[in-house]
């Protein structure tokens, strides 16, 4: 890390991801000279703690980025489109957690363990895109397997926590669970259906091809990050009654055979991944364990008997951390070390 320190802004500081960004900046001792917290009008004046200090939330507006070196955006796609160009014009490099810019060809889409060299492309537009949370968790263990065996096809089914839909969605799961226990009517607002004691095979809007936007994000973003534009991918994304940490069941086919033992070895060596795979002793990744952790945990690794050169595995990761805030700050760390 550079010995220099930086003026950092967090846009969307009062949201679930923004709050975790602040925690991780402190936990990883990012060289923050000053921190500016930005949000919508209703949050202006609210105080948030950073390094023991109460910092006021200021208004997210185009003039808010003067003097900022790095702007971390977690305010949603529409806000990113409106304000990220202004941040770049003011001299800040933007790390954007929304879907606004991910698939634009001149904006890098980065997972630092996988394609850190792409970060240098930020100079074209001043923006680096943070991938979708489920995409990040899914491709972390796929990268070392691809480097060894060359990926040909991926089938992914996600089990996504309510925190992926924001703080209100988490609160709704808790409120519905309490209402159920009291025998009261459950209020439904954050999702199309009751989420407590249910699973909903619907995340984001449906498209003409029958897939959802979330499913196509996983398909297209993975291709871009891994540099495999013709990779065959199909996904089903499902919301489950879990507070934090996404889980994904993956079936992956390769050009050459990878044994279970070799897969375990490759994944265990890859930074940011840990193998948790001892089914005989009921040891496998679960959201309950992975919430609050930085790594992606991989288990249930096995060879697929139904197709040639195929592996099945199960991966869990905290989508507020590695799936969002941590990945963004890792990008900022590379920026600070190599580019700014």
- Give the active site residues: 133, 246
Alpha-carbon gap, residue 40 to 44, rounded angstroms:
7
Give me the sheet containing 296-303, strands edge to edge: 232-239, 151-160, 246-254, 310-317, 296-303, 273-275
């Amino acid at each position: 890390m550079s010995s220099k320190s930086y003026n950092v802004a967090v846009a969307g500081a009062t949201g679930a991801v923004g709050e975790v960004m602040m925690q991780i900046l402190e936990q990883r001792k990012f060289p923050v000279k000053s921190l500016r917290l930005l949000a919508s009008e209703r949050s202006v004046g609210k105080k948030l703690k950073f390094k023991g200090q109460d910092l006021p939330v200021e208004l997210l507006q185009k003039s808010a980025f003067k003097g900022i070196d790095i702007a971390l955006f977690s305010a949603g796609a529409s806000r990113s489109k409106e304000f990220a160009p202004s941040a770049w014009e003011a001299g800040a490099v933007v790390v954007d957690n929304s879907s606004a810019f991910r698939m634009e060809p001149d904006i890098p889409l980065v997972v630092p363990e996988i394609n850190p060299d792409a970060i240098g492309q930020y100079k074209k537009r001043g923006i680096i895109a943070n991938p979708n949370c489920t995409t990040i968790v899914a491709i972390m263990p796929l990268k070392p397997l691809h480097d060894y065996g060359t990926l040909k096809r991926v089938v992914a089914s996600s089990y996504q926590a309510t925190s992926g839909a924001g703080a209100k969605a988490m609160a709704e799961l808790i409120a519905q669970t309490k209402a159920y226990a009291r025998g009261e009517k459950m209020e439904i607002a954050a999702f199309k259906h009751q989420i407590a004691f249910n699973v909903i095979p619907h995340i984001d809007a449906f498209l003409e091809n029958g897939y959802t936007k979330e499913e196509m994000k996983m398909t297209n973003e993975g291709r871009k990050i891994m540099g495999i534009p013709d990779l065959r991918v199909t996904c089903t994304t499902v919301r489950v009654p879990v507070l934090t940490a996404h889980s994904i069941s993956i079936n992956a086919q390769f050009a050459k055979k990878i044994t279970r033992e070799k897969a375990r070895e490759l994944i265990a060596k890859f930074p940011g991944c840990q193998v948790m795979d001892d089914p005989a002793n009921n040891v496998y990744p679960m959201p309950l364990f992975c919430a609050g952790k930085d790594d992606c945990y991989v288990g249930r690794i096995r060879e697929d008997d139904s197709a040639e050169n195929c592996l099945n595995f199960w991966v869990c990761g905290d989508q507020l951390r590695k799936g969002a805030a941590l990945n963004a700050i890792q990008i900022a760390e590379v920026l600070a070390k190599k580019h700014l």
